[in-house]
Amino acid sequence: MQNLNWNDLRYLLAVKRAGSLSAAARQMGVDDTTVSRRLGALRRALGEDLFVRRPDGALVLTDHGAKVTSRIEAMERESDLLTETFTASAGKCIGTVRITSVPFLINRCLARQVDGLLRQHPKLQVDLIPDSRDFSLTLREADIALRFVRPVTGGNQVIARRIGLLPFSVFAAKSHSPGTDLDLPWITYDDSMAHLPQAKWLARTLKQNGEKSTGLRVHDVETALEAVIAGVGKSLLPTPIADRIPTLRRLDAGTIDVSREVWLLSHRNQHSLRRISEVSKWIAALFEDSG
């Protein structure tokens, strides 16, 4: 066996997690040719094939490839723990933590309160990824994910913890006088979002009370919030967030029983790292205060 280029092992792990050359290339910030060349060099060094290509084009590990990547992942964990040992002995929380969630939670909650965390841990870097897509923790596209439902993918590689409830209340713009509350039309959700708890409540309320809706239907909470701020109508919004907006007025008296579960997800191999645990505790505290 030839001497291994340890940098090539990173490319092998990326392909294993991404499932294709192109996806691994995007993850590594290189082109497909570079990944292919690195894998070829690694195959020659090890003397055996590491992947086979399925008819659909996906790359699947051979038995030998699975053994090799298992060892690489063990090395990766040890490297993380070694770094953690050095930084912990210095009393520091160092490194990058990538957090993904829907834009509403990232922009309205985390981004507005992250300054305190960064002051507490000046060597920490937090990357906020506002995106409705499910970024993969197993592919290391993110370190922490916030979701409104418990995950059904990831298996035992992902640790999921319910950290709180996000309650909803009815809000309208203060530009509308209190005497017009009942006459204000409702901002509702489009059909693709009809399964959401707040969308179900709105549909039920309109049907039971014969109230009217605006000509606007929205796809997410962020758009509903902006429409309410603009004075288009009233809608059901997350209470702890809308309560902090000075131009909004709450119309109900806490009698609405609508809330969303908030789940915090992290990868099992990274869960105990100090930077992950510190950021996780900070996020959990935000939603404990919100419940």
Under 8 Å CB-to-CB from 79, ≥6 apart: which residues?
Answer: none
Backbone φ, ψ for residue 19 (5° rounding): 90, -5
For the stretch 40-85, pLDDT in tens is 888 888 888 888 888 877 788 888 888 888 788 777 767 766 766 6
**Domain ranges in the chain with CATH number 3.40.190.10:** 166-260
For the stretch 167-217, pLDDT in tens is 999 999 999 888 788 789 999 999 999 999 999 999 999 988 888 899 999
Place of tokens 């596209």: 141
Candidates 235, 165, 155; CA nearest to 193 is 235
For the stretch 115-166, pLDDT in tens is 999 999 998 989 998 888 777 787 677 899 999 988 776 567 889 999 999 9
Instruction: Kindly indicate whether the domain formed by 6-86 is annotated with CATH number 1.10.10.10.
Output: yes
Candidates 262, 86, 243, 46; CA nearest to 165 is 262
The whole-chain average pLDDT of the chain stands at 86
**Domain ranges in the chain with CATH number 1.10.10.10:** 6-86
pLDDT (mean) for 212-224:
93
Q: Could you tell me whether strands 186-189 and 213-218 are parallel, antiparallel, or unpaired per DSSP bridges? A: parallel
Q: Own/partner pairs for 216-220, CB < 8 Å, 24+ apart?
A: 216/187, 217/187, 217/188, 217/189, 217/190, 218/187, 218/188, 218/189, 218/190, 218/193, 219/189, 219/190, 219/192, 219/193, 220/102, 220/103, 220/104, 220/132, 220/193
pLDDT computed for residue 83 by the predictor: 67
pLDDT computed for residue 3 by the predictor: 66
Fold observed for domain 166-260: D-Maltodextrin-Binding Protein; domain 2 (3.40.190)
The answer to whether the pTM exceeds 0.75 is no
